[in-house]
Amino acid sequence: DIVSLGMSLSSCSIPGQPHEDRFGENDGELGLGIHGEPGVERIAVQTADKLVAIMAERLSARLDPAVSYALLINNLGSVPPLEMSVIANAVLASSLAKIIKLTIGPGPLMTALNMNGFSLSLIRLDAVRETALLAPVGPHAWTPAKPVVAPDVVPMAKAAGKSAARKPSQDARTRRLVATICERLIALETTLNGLDAKAGDGDTGSTVATGARSVLERLDTLPLAEPSATLGAIGDILSASMGGSSGVLLSIFFTAAAQALGGGASLAKALLAGLERMTFYGGAGMGDRTMVDALEPALKALDAKGLDEAAIAARHGAEATSAMDRAKAGRSAYVGSKLQGAVDPGAYAVAEVFAATVALHEAA
């Protein structure tokens, strides 16, 4: 009533014994034992779907196509979870799929130490076995059986009137402003990466530059004559192209600002509304050593005193982050590095954006 077949691309390491891998560079074994005993057949390394197809063919010879089975997908020790999911997907797309009613796993339910392989086991179902497999159990390591069902495909809702509201339009002043800011951010790529490397993974400049380039590339498609629609369009572009948490948070910032500006708020107050939403979802505040340390005082100054004071406040806010020895948000918060003397790259970018805007305003 149970058939099982394993395959692996490596042997396991036996504690206390020298590791000897009997496998060739491009070899795998089919039908190996749970304790690492040699398999009955040597096969070439192939893609997951082809390996699963071979196993399905061998297993099908012992199965009754007229009945249903439960399938256990077992990790023999060191297959990464992502690859086990690929294997599970391949099994459920194979010739075995039509007889599988329940699945258990994928998971390390019976391992052969650190063997880089997996096994497929099928048990013939009847009412008693099906009830038992679906019943709750105490051990947390046991993966509950789940019925095999087709996924629900839900069509994505389309924003009503979005395309009509964001038809391309031109405004020379807005175009110069957007282009100037993007060009400044692109020019800062190396500088921001260097600042980020002190505590992060050194890619803030590349991430910001990618977003800026994406906006520049789409400059002719923006509704520049409509400020609120322009902010919303920039939010859409950043969410799709910028990547990372910063892309998501800046998308929230611009989208919320667009909604507030469309509702009649001034630009400064709309940007403050965007900041409020961004900090709500991102969790960072003043003193946490993020872009908020420059952006919040700058936007408050913009609302109360104007652009020149906003640029000064942004610069002071960015410089203040160099005296913060530990971050309380973002990646550097859990790295735990001491950061005193280094300016936060996000805050530095904000200060540079305001400086570029002031320079453009003075030139005009």
Euclidean distance between CA atoms 170 and 208, whole angstroms: 25
Residue 165 pLDDT level (bands cut at 50, 70, 90): low
Q: Does the pLDDT value for residue 335 go beyond 50?
A: no
Are residue 121 and residue 37 in the same domain, yes or no? yes
Are residue 50 and residue 180 in the same domain, yes or no? no
Q: What is the pLDDT of residue 183?
A: 97
Q: What is the pLDDT of residue 145?
A: 93
Are residue 223 and residue 297 in the same domain, yes or no? yes
Q: CA 40 → CA 4, 9, 20, 43, distances in Å?
A: 13, 14, 18, 10
Task: State the catalytic residues.
Answer: 35
Residue 10 pLDDT level (bands cut at 50, 70, 90): confident
Q: How many domains, in total, are found in the chain?
A: 2
Which of 96, 119, 147 finishes a domain? 147
Is residue 311, in this structure, part of any structural domain at all? yes
Is residue 154, in this structure, part of any structural domain at all? no
Are residue 124 and residue 252 in the same domain, yes or no? no
Q: In 3D, which of 116, 53, 61 has the Cα closest to residue 90?
A: 53
Are residue 240 and residue 178 in the same domain, yes or no? yes
Q: Does the pLDDT value for residue 164 go beyond 80?
A: no
Q: Which residue has the higher pLDDT, 301 or 197?
A: 301
Q: What is the pLDDT of residue 16?
A: 81
Q: Does the pLDDT value for residue 336 go beyond 50?
A: no
Residue 326 pLDDT level (bands cut at 50, 70, 90): low
Are residue 126 and residue 239 in the same domain, yes or no? no
Are residue 188 and residue 326 in the same domain, yes or no? yes
Q: What is the pLDDT of residue 160?
A: 41
Is residue 297, in this structure, part of any structural domain at all? yes
Which of 147, 173, 196 finishes a domain? 147
CA neighbours within 13 Å on the CB side: how many for 356?
Answer: 19
Sign of CA dihedral 81, 84, 90, 95: negative
pTM confidence score: 0.58
Give all strands of the β-sheet with 2-8 in edge-to-edge order.
Answer: 41-44, 27-30, 2-8, 117-124, 69-75, 100-107, 146-147
In sequence order, the 6+-apart residues with CB closer than 8 A to the CB of 264 are none
Are residue 270 and residue 139 in the same domain, yes or no? no
Q: How many residues does the chain have?
A: 364
Residue 157 pLDDT level (bands cut at 50, 70, 90): low
Cα 220–298–171 angle (5° rounding)? 20
Are residue 90 and residue 197 in the same domain, yes or no? no
Residue 300 pLDDT level (bands cut at 50, 70, 90): very high
Q: Which residue has the higher pLDDT, 57 or 153?
A: 57
Helix (H, G, I), strand (E, B) or coil at 131: helix
Which of 121, 147, 173 finishes a domain? 147
Are residue 178 and residue 228 in the same domain, yes or no? yes
Kindly report the CATH number assigned to the domain that includes residue 55: 3.30.1180.20
Q: Model confidence over 119-133: pLDDT tens digits? A: 999 999 999 999 999
Q: Model confidence over 218-249: pLDDT tens digits? A: 999 999 999 999 999 999 999 989 877 888 99
Q: Does the pLDDT value for residue 315 go beyond 80?
A: yes
Domain that holds residue 125: 2-147
Is residue 130, in this structure, part of any structural domain at all? yes
Mean pLDDT of the chain: 88
CB 350, CB 343: distance < 8 Å: no
- Per-residue pLDDT averaged across 48-63, rounded? 93
- Per-residue pLDDT averaged across 172-186, rounded? 97
